[in-house]
């Protein structure tokens, strides 16, 4: 049986750890050649080496998505080397806790830069290549915070709502070119990304209590569960889906 993503090239940002890493590995397992990028080049190369050890195909690149010219250069280099980019998972993000009076203007600006603007830059850089081939799947990480309101998380929730709106706009504008754009909206996964919310809740015990009490399924998501959502959005299994916010949160946002 042919692998689901055989012959496709995937470009993943912030893939050195957590959900980005798990998604990159899952895409490679389904046959994609995965370009693993991360601000920490060493982590990106470690993930690529891990994929290779599993029998997959990958390369690791250092990339700071806050540097527009570097993003454009990286995408052009991948297309020059491999001839195409079929899948993009734009995953970079940041989380700051605090409500209107606690969060700073800098917190909001930094949240906007990574949680919205960086995805715009990545999608804009890859779009001409996907239009040329009349094919592509762009996955942008939002959060289940993009479909609900999180108390005392104004910068995070605002930007995660905004990126879903941007995803839908990209989808509407480019469906005619057979290019799909969907948002990945994970709930709680046990990664260091939760550090800000954990501090807000008074530590690890408070976070564990929140997860058990607030999520109907009563547990964290497993990284592989989120990774399979990424594969679904990347592949023909979601071939008639675009502009969708795929929420994987154990029912928390219900």
Give me the active site residues, please. Answer: 156
Q: What is the DSSP-derived secondary structure letter of residue 221?
A: B
Number of Cα atoms under 13 Å in the Cβ half of residue 200: 17
* Dihedral of alpha carbons 121, 122, 127, 129, sign: positive
Residue 227 tokens read as 């990774």
Please state the separation of Cα 28 from the chain's center in Å.
16
Distance CA 103, CA 153 (A): 8
Distance CA 114, CA 109 (A): 9
Q: How far, in Å, are 3, 4, 24, 179 from residue 228 at the CA level?
A: 14, 12, 11, 20
Residue 184 tokens read as 């990945």
- Could you count the other beta carbons within 10 Å of the beta carbon of residue 204? 10
Distance CA 243, CA 55 (A): 33
- Rounded to the nearest 10 degrees, the angle between the axes of helix 154-174 and helix 105-112 is 30
């Amino acid at each position: 049986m042919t692998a689901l993503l055989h012959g496709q090239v995937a470009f993943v940002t912030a893939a050195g750890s957590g959900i980005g890493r798990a998604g990159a590995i899952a895409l490679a397992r389904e046959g994609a050649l995965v370009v693993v990028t991360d601000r920490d080049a060493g982590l990106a190369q470690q993930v690529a080496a891990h994929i290779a050890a599993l029998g997959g195909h990958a390369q690791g690149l250092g990339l700071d998505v806050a540097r527009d010219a570097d993003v454009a250069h990286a995408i052009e280099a991948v297309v020059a080397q491999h001839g195409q980019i079929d899948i993009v998972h734009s995953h970079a993000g940041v989380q700051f806790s605090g409500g209107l009076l606690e969060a700073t203007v800098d917190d909001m600006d930094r949240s906007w830069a990574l949680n919205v603007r960086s995805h715009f830059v990545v999608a804009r850089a890859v779009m001409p290549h996907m239009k040329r081939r009349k094919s592509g799947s762009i996955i942008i990480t939002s959060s289940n915070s993009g479909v609900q309101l999180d108390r005392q998380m104004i910068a995070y929730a605002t930007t995660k709502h905004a990126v879903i709106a941007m995803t839908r706009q990209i989808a509407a504008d480019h469906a005619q070119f057979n290019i799909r754009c969907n948002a990945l909206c994970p709930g709680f996964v046990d990664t260091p990304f939760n550090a800000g919310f954990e501090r807000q809740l008074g530590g690890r015990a408070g976070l564990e209590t929140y997860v058990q009490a607030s999520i109907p399924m009563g547990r964290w998501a497993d990284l592989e569960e989120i990774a399979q959502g990424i594969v679904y959005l990347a592949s023909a299994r979601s071939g008639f889906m675009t502009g969708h916010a795929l929420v994987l949160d154990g029912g928390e946002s219900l």
